[in-house]
Structure 1
Amino acid sequence: MEQTYIIGYIMIGVVAKQYMLKTIGNMDYLRLLGELGVILLLFFIGMEINLVDFVKQWRIAVIGVIAQLTLSLFLMLGVGTYFDWGIARIIVLGFVVALSSSAVVIKLLQDKGLLDSKMGKNVLSILLAQDVAFVPLLLIISQLGGTKMTSWDLALMAIGASIILALLIYIYTKRSLKFPYAKRIAKDHELQFFVAVLLCFGGALITSLFGLSAALGAFVGGMLINATKETHWIQDTLHSFRILFVSFFFISIGMQIDVGFIQNNIETVLSAIIIIFLGNHILNTVVLRYFSDSWKEAILGGAYLAQIGELSFLLIATAFTYGIIEEFSYNFTINIISLTLVISPFWIGITEKAIALVFRRQKQY
């Protein structure tokens, strides 16, 4: 199955880690390529999103994310109270556990042809709401770390958020947009490439200048493309480009897995992974079932959302930079996130087989 490509990329990162470290001294270059991969991936995700349809599903998106954050915070509060953690550390780890992986989940939904299914749309709505929530979560962590935003920084972020909101309202109101010189662009392959890069990385640059997530800008640029007529050429023009950088992203995840660290803390690591998968799976199953998914769809959707996402790398790295967590907790969390991404396709596959077995037996009776 195509999902093995994700696992393959991560395994390449694990195997190549020692060689790459000796070659470049650190992983900064590969992480940069991975960040570019996330930007490009979210640009393509945005291209798949019809804003009008997404707004119709705002309830499941908002309630789903609030429920995830609430449960994760309570879970970490219980664990943190037992281990005598500080409140800032509890909040950070609660945020980290609550976010699922847009990169992995959407890739798997696409491979299985489920992106346009009811379950796929509900899962996608929750993922997109998480991506939007990432910015305020990052801001909260910076405040917990004692980094006070200046009035200028806050003003920039407010302006950037206002621009994005105005653009989304414009797209929603117009429903359908059209590029200037669309016919000429459609005939010129070189011009197509530059227009696509401008929309993707231009949007990322603009939002980053305003202190917002670069990936968010690329995502909005993709949504702009979705509302624009005659833009099928962008998919064809950037497809190979996307595969290259997304592969770097998953390889960079593999390079963050420390096999020795995992071996030395195997019991704690396995316990954490089991708790995370079961907790996220059950919570998301309940949320999806509440919004009229059948139990079969809800359980499968819960499996897709059970892992920890790539944006959590940025949250934990920010918390480490601000001194909220120490080095051991940082390494432990990085390895947990990476392992949940590796295990996720297998967890989904096991869930699919279990669902098929249970419902087959029910039909027999």
Structure 2
Amino acid sequence: MPNIVGITLLILIVALVLKILKQPHVIAYLIAGITLGPWGIGLVNDADLMNRLGAMGVVLLLFFVGMETDARQLARNWRLALIGTGLQIVSSFVLVFVLGHFLTWPFERILLIAFVISLSSTAVVIQLLQDKGLMGSRIGQGALSILLAQDLALIPMLIVLGVLGAGEVSDYTIIKQSLGTLLAIALFTFLVKARQVHLPLGQWLKGDKELQVFAALGVCSGFALISGWFELSTALGAFLAGMLIGAAKETQWVHHTLESLKVVFVALFFVSVGLLLNLEFLTHNLLVVLALVVLALMAKTLINTLILKGAAYSWRESVLTGALLSQIGEFSFVLAAVGFQAEMISDFGYQLALSVISLTLLVSPLWIGITEKIVKESD
């Protein structure tokens, strides 16, 4: 109970201060995690538990986004999703290859770091899009298309790193992931072509709020579980579940039923990210970390801006979307951990990666706000 009270009060106080400063709640959650963690006041030490609870936040967030997403509009952006994500990965590799050439890094480390910085944060970007009311805009749909393609790209990235660092990847795993991807594509195709979807029990649950909670959670977590069994992203399964619910007009009550749970678990996700930040390591290596954070934000903004401009977006839309995608994503923590276990990076490199990823997540809302002001002043 002291932990719950401490987390709640700290989030409330920091969020109120940042609201006065017109900053998004995401920053308050991250600051709360840093403060409460083992390198802060030490109130919360079970980072694994917070990570598991936070993972549910990402699942619920993508579930809600799926409900608000038009499958047909998303399908129209397939070129941007596939080509844009591919160009991001290639551009990141070229950038890291040049840096690694001067630092005499082995190829495995160059590839790992390129993969790490190429991903953006689905949770941060979607939260900011919702806060700014941009989810249905061209900027929001373009960013969402790229983010979903990045989630899918995580699978081949893990396979490649497994082959380079840990030997063989089992044929069984590859078959499961391939089959899961085909099923996800089939469901998405069905949602694009279907004019309306009818789900069983939708009308029966309309007036029963208690059963609605469990039914909504069952659909969301069930699809996430199936996606996870195929060793794909659980967030991807939740997103498809949300699209299915959104296509079924008789189940619109789901959105109101799970809204409060989504807020709580998304907050716990960002708190869990803040817990990872080692303040002692950051203090001793502050200049290096800050230099890498600025370099990552600037490079990713530039890369994404050029990609979106090439996809016939206006300069304004391209720059704003590029800034939205500038941070390093939460799935990069997974890639960094895989690289560390395979000895592609040292303990110092792993801690450096965690610090840079965490700080880009923390400062990206400020970076995006600065970019918006610059764009507005230039209009």
Q: Same fold (TM over 0.5)?
A: yes
The AA in structure 2 aligned to 1:286 is L
Give TM-score, length-normalised by structure 1.
0.93
Question: Alignment partner for residue 134 of structure 1, among 154, 165, 169?
Answer: 154
2:178 aligned counterpart, secondary structure: helix
- The change in CA–CA distance for 1:155 and 1:63 in structure 2 (over 3 A counts) is closer
How far apart, in 2, do the equivalents of 1:311 and 1:176 lie?
A: 34
1:203·1:218 contact (CA, 8 Å) conserved in 2? Answer: yes
Residue equivalent to 1:237: 257
- The change in CA–CA distance for 1:299 and 1:225 in structure 2 (over 3 A counts) is same
User: Offset of 1:12 from its aligned partner?
Assistant: 0.6
Pair 1:179 & 2:186 matched: no
How far apart, in 2, do the equivalents of 1:165 and 1:295 lie?
A: 32
1:182 aligned counterpart, secondary structure: coil
User: Offset of 1:217 from its aligned partner?
Assistant: 1.6
Q: Deviations over 1:233-280 (max 9, x none)?
A: 111111111111111100011111122212211221121112111111
Pair 1:149 & 2:150 matched: no
Q: Deviations over 1:94-115 (max 9, x none)?
A: 0110111111111111111112
Question: Alignment partner for residue 17 of structure 1, among 12, 37, 56?
Answer: 37
5 Å-filtered alignment, 1:31-42, equals: 31-42=51-62
How far apart, in 2, do the equivalents of 1:301 and 1:37 lie?
A: 24
2:205 aligned counterpart, secondary structure: helix
User: Offset of 1:69 from its aligned partner?
Assistant: 0.4
2:80·2:142 contact (CA, 8 Å) conserved in 1? Answer: yes
- The change in CA–CA distance for 1:115 and 1:31 in structure 2 (over 3 A counts) is same
Question: Alignment partner for residue 338 of structure 1, among 345, 348, 358?
Answer: 358
Residue equivalent to 1:320: 340
Residue equivalent to 2:13: none
User: Offset of 1:305 from its aligned partner?
Assistant: 1.0
How far apart, in 2, do the equivalents of 1:150 and 1:301 lie?
A: 38
- The change in CA–CA distance for 1:22 and 1:14 in structure 2 (over 3 A counts) is closer
Give TM-score, length-normalised by structure 2.
0.90
Residue equivalent to 1:75: 95
1:201·1:218 contact (CA, 8 Å) conserved in 2? Answer: yes
- The change in CA–CA distance for 1:55 and 1:26 in structure 2 (over 3 A counts) is same
2:38·2:45 contact (CA, 8 Å) conserved in 1? Answer: no
User: Offset of 1:116 from its aligned partner?
Assistant: 1.6
Residue equivalent to 1:45: 65
Segments ≥4 residues shifted beyond 6 Å: none
Residue equivalent to 1:196: 216
Q: Deviations over 1:299-348 (max 9, x none)?
A: 11111111111111111122222322221111101110110011111111
1:64 aligned counterpart, secondary structure: helix
Q: Deviations over 1:96-142 (max 9, x none)?
A: 10111111111111111112222222122212211222222222222
| Structure 1: unaligned runs, 5 residues or longer | 360-365
Residue equivalent to 2:236: 216
Residue equivalent to 1:363: none
Identity among equivalent pairs (%): 40
Residue equivalent to 1:301: 321
How far apart, in 2, do the equivalents of 1:262 and 1:63 lie?
A: 36
User: Offset of 1:22 from its aligned partner?
Assistant: 5.5
Pair 1:272 & 2:271 matched: no
How far apart, in 1, do the equivalents of 2:267 and 2:304 lie?
A: 28
Pair 1:93 & 2:113 matched: yes
Pair 1:205 & 2:225 matched: yes
Pair 1:227 & 2:232 matched: no
User: Offset of 1:170 from its aligned partner?
Assistant: 2.1
Q: Deviations over 1:64-95 (max 9, x none)?
A: 11111011011111111121211111111101
The AA in structure 2 aligned to 1:10 is L
- The change in CA–CA distance for 1:10 and 1:162 in structure 2 (over 3 A counts) is same
How far apart, in 2, do the equivalents of 1:295 and 1:168 lie?
A: 31
2:151·2:233 contact (CA, 8 Å) conserved in 1? Answer: no
| Structure 2: unaligned runs, 5 residues or longer | 1-18
How far apart, in 2, do the equivalents of 1:168 and 1:65 lie?
A: 19
Pair 1:8 & 2:28 matched: yes
The AA in structure 2 aligned to 1:291 is A
How far apart, in 1, do the equivalents of 2:232 and 2:210 lie?
A: 30
- The change in CA–CA distance for 1:63 and 1:19 in structure 2 (over 3 A counts) is closer
- The change in CA–CA distance for 1:25 and 1:109 in structure 2 (over 3 A counts) is closer
1:141 aligned counterpart, secondary structure: helix
How far apart, in 2, do the equivalents of 1:287 and 1:154 lie?
A: 30
Q: Report the RMSD for the aligned CA atoms in angstroms.
A: 1.8
How far apart, in 2, do the equivalents of 1:167 and 1:294 lie?
A: 32
2:166 aligned counterpart, secondary structure: coil
- The change in CA–CA distance for 1:134 and 1:176 in structure 2 (over 3 A counts) is farther
Pair 1:284 & 2:304 matched: yes
1:47·1:224 contact (CA, 8 Å) conserved in 2? Answer: yes
Q: Deviations over 1:152-188 (max 9, x none)?
A: 2233223322322222222222242111132112122
The AA in structure 2 aligned to 1:127 is L
